[in-house]
Structure 1
Amino acid sequence: MAGGAQDPDEEMISGINVTPLVDITLVLLIIFMVTATYIVRETIEVDLPRAASGGETVGTTLNLVLDKEGKLYVDGAEATADAARDAVRAAVAKDPDSRAIISADKSVSHGQVVELIDLVKTQGLTKFAINIEKDAASEATP
């Protein structure tokens, strides 16, 4: 028969098959998981000291890291003190409101950290922060 007439023995489809949707979703999830490992930036392993309070910074930042051997890294690349001075000077010239985040392993001497702070301040960068790892015990207390 023509038009919308149906055979009385045929059943109307009343369910939706979600199997293809689940298959596509799982494939996309696997692709995301595999590519996410390549997106993650390599970091320098530093055992940060813990503190109860910590703030976040915004704007142009220069990351300075002292690892447990006392090696200095500027934005992830190993550098000498002179190279760090040049990087700080260039950051201040580019943006006068730039900031520095200083991370130091807790086994590094206080004197080395003070020398790094002095290096940053003598090059004209007065806004800096000491990077810490937030203490989990203090987060539980109100």
Structure 2
Amino acid sequence: MAATSSDSGPITGINMTPFVDIALVLLIIFIVTAKLVVTPSVPLDLPQAKKSEEVQTVLSVVITAEGNILANGAPMADEGALVGLARSYLERDPEIRVVIAADGAVLHRKVIEVLDALRMAGISRVAFGVSPNETEDR
């Protein structure tokens, strides 16, 4: 007797084995890369700041060529007004620093008067602002 097959017609089903293999490989790749993205490469234990450095208060005093006094950009009527303003700054911050920027045409007497006014207010930390020299000394 000869064996005969009853399935001699065309193949009508879809072979799912290659599709499942590719889907599983892609799933494994996504799982591995997702885990790499979430975890940091180098674990760090950063120190916590207990206290930040305080910003120093600076009072800027400008003496114009005409002899006018400006404190933080505000014009002062005279040295007495500067004393009052400097005392109010000193009460807020005892470590206040004053920077005096005087025009080159200002008489030294005017700068000394401003220094005396600041000393009467109780300011002891005074610095002088200068412009950088544009030409090199030869």
The two structures have a TM-score, normalised by structure 2, of 0.56
Q: Confirm whether residue 74 of structure 1 aligns to residue 65 of structure 2.
A: no
Number of aligned residue pairs: 83
Q: Judge conservation of contact 2:98–2:127 (CA < 8 Å) in 1.
A: yes
The two structures have a TM-score, normalised by structure 1, of 0.54
Contiguous gaps of at least 5 residues in structure 1: 1-57
Matched residue of 2:127: which SS? strand
1:83 positional shift: 1.5
- Which amino acid in 2 is paired with 1:75? N
Q: Confirm whether residue 106 of structure 1 aligns to residue 104 of structure 2.
A: yes
Larger radius of gyration: 2
* 2:92 alignment counterpart: 94
Contiguous gaps of at least 5 residues in structure 2: 1-54
4+ long deviations beyond 4 Å:
none
1:88 positional shift: 0.3
Q: CA RMSD in A?
A: 1.7
1:99 positional shift: 0.6
| Correspondences of 1:22-41 after superposition (within 5 Å) | none
Map Cα deviations across residues 23-72 of structure 1 (whole Å, 9 max, x no partner).
xxxxxxxxxxxxxxxxxxxxxxxxxxxxxxxxxxx710111111010011
